[in-house]
Structure 1
Amino acid sequence: MASKSFYAIISGAGSGTGRATALRFAQAYPVVLLARKPESYNSIVAEIKQAGGQAFGLTADATDETAVNAAFESIKKILPGSKLAAAVYNVNGGFAMRPFLELKREELDASLDAAPKGFFTFAQKTLPLLLESVPESPHPPTLIISGATASIKGSALFGSFAAGKFALRALGQSLAREFGPKGVHVSHAIIDGAIDTPESKDWVANNGAEDGKISPDAFIKIAETYWHLHTQHRSAFTQEIDIRPYVERY
């Protein structure tokens, strides 16, 4: 049964990891979904409500500080008196795959805006709320960051994307060291591999091996991993975890 005194928030709620995470956390909490477009969250909200849960969608571009601030003001009205138990930053953006000398400054800016700068705003809004929940939350209040292969490996042709993901990971590490001792679990999840989506259908990953891409079925497993991170006892926090197909080279 979902707890009505605590809620979870997911920024970057769309198909894939965002949807699966929302569905999993909705089994325990009302969930708030943030996305740039209502089309990204409308079907997820409906799915959760159909299953008997509570879900609310808010339109907010993670790179727009004013929009994010407005979304958090709206949450106060939607869920008055509720406390934040878990926050997930799952924002995609700034992906570019091209030779460095062909990259534009705008592509670097897009990566930095979506990754460290967007997360900076999200973390500044969620961490005070998570700290307030420490004494009463059923599980340690948790801030989870979705990373990527580029978080730890600057591959050729991925210079601007890696710059953003490296910075996101570094900020997450700093926050884990600052807020972990205060009772807030900050964890970075490296999603290492091509994700099987309509946009990537023409990509050949791992020589076309079966399950060589992260499949839609695997999103459920990623969401279960996120839930596991949230429910870890404070004596055994995981600051970073990596998730990849069995044939992925790393």
Structure 2
Amino acid sequence: MASSLSRPIAIIAGAGPGTGAAIARRFAQTYPVVLLARSSTSLDPLVQGINQNGGTALGLPTDVTNPDNMDSTMTQIRNHFGTDMTVAAAIFNVASKFSRTPFLDSGSEFLDSLEATARGSSAFAKAVIPFMLAEAEKSPADQQQQQPQHPPTLIFTGATASLKGGSGLGSFAMSKFAVRALAQSLAREFGPQGLHVAHAIIDGIIDTEQTKDFNRDRPDSKIDPKWIAKSYWFLHTQPRTAFTQELDIRPYGETW
């Protein structure tokens, strides 16, 4: 049984603008957060903003698709927060490569999205789960000193394509199906050990700077990243008596 009294942390992979940033800001209200992305360009402003607003954030450029890189990153995190560090929440929000290409016109790049996302979600989960199990195994005395105490939670961001493959989106859909399948398998394997594994289907256009010109004539037709973050926090705060394995989020006007 773990006996660490260190403060648990949250790790967000894919902490770029939009959803990742909103998730980071929400979880930073309770935990020190570690933000992972391929480049420090998107991390630096977010880390600076969280730290200036009273939170604690550490940004680490990381290729989550590379298991060795993920292991090195976890070593850096442990060196920063202490060897008795545990993980309260981990979110895999890495975007899949989106490209609408007729299947017969596709080439060797067809499997790129599948390989990157499937490998990335697997490497991320394998790296963080041991630290989440350590959090789940804390003694009641430890837990009382670290309120609020919520079950450690591993969340994977999905999409419309997690449920249905659109025309010309074979590679993208396979990658999203793969992540959903992994989330289900991990939930069944680690749920009995107190680890909450959830998959979120983001079914619609997310309201970001890149999508500001979409659906201008339809108010409230895009998903607010802050509400995605609030939904993830809701998943994290669920007790062991009521775990949600999958939820979907969509705007009122979305066809489904």
TM-score over 0.5 for the alignment?
A: yes
Q: Select which of 162, 176, 179 maps to 2:173.
A: 162
Q: Select which of 11, 16, 19 maps to 2:18.
A: 16
**Letter of the structure 1 residue corresponding to residue 241 of structure 2:** S
Q: Select which of 227, 238, 242 maps to 2:233.
A: 227
Counterpart of 2:200? Answer: 189
Counterpart of 1:178? Answer: 189
Q: Select which of 31, 34, 59 maps to 1:32.
A: 34
CA distance in 1, matches of 2:101, 2:220: 26
Counterpart of 1:209? Answer: 218
User: Structure 1 stretches of 5 or more lacking a match?
Assistant: none
**Cα deviation digits, residues 205-250 of structure 1 (max 9, x gap):** 9xx4212222xxx111110110110110111000000001110011
**Letter of the structure 2 residue corresponding to residue 5 of structure 1:** R
CA distance in 1, matches of 2:76, 2:198: 26
**Cα deviation digits, residues 60-97 of structure 1 (max 9, x gap):** 01222222221111001111032111100000132111
TM-score normalised to the size of structure 2? 0.90
Counterpart of 1:62? Answer: 64
Residue identity (%):
51
Q: How far 1:5 sits from its partner (Å)?
A: 1.0
Would you say the 8 A contact 2:162–2:176 is kept in 1? yes
Would you say the 8 A contact 2:96–2:175 is kept in 1? no
CA distance in 2, matches of 1:220, 1:189: 14
CA distance in 2, matches of 1:108, 1:213: 29
Counterpart of 2:146? Answer: none
**Letter of the structure 2 residue corresponding to residue 102 of structure 1:** D
TM-score normalised to the size of structure 1? 0.92
Counterpart of 1:145? Answer: 156
SS at structure 1 position matched to 2:34: strand
Q: How far 1:204 sits from its partner (Å)?
A: 4.8
Would you say the 8 A contact 2:165–2:173 is kept in 1? yes
- 1:71 equivalent to 2:73? Answer yes
CA distance in 2, matches of 1:130, 1:142: 8
Counterpart of 1:119? Answer: 121
CA distance in 2, matches of 1:51, 1:246: 33
CA RMSD of aligned residues (A): 1.6
Would you say the 8 A contact 1:4–1:29 is kept in 2? no
Counterpart of 1:240? Answer: 246
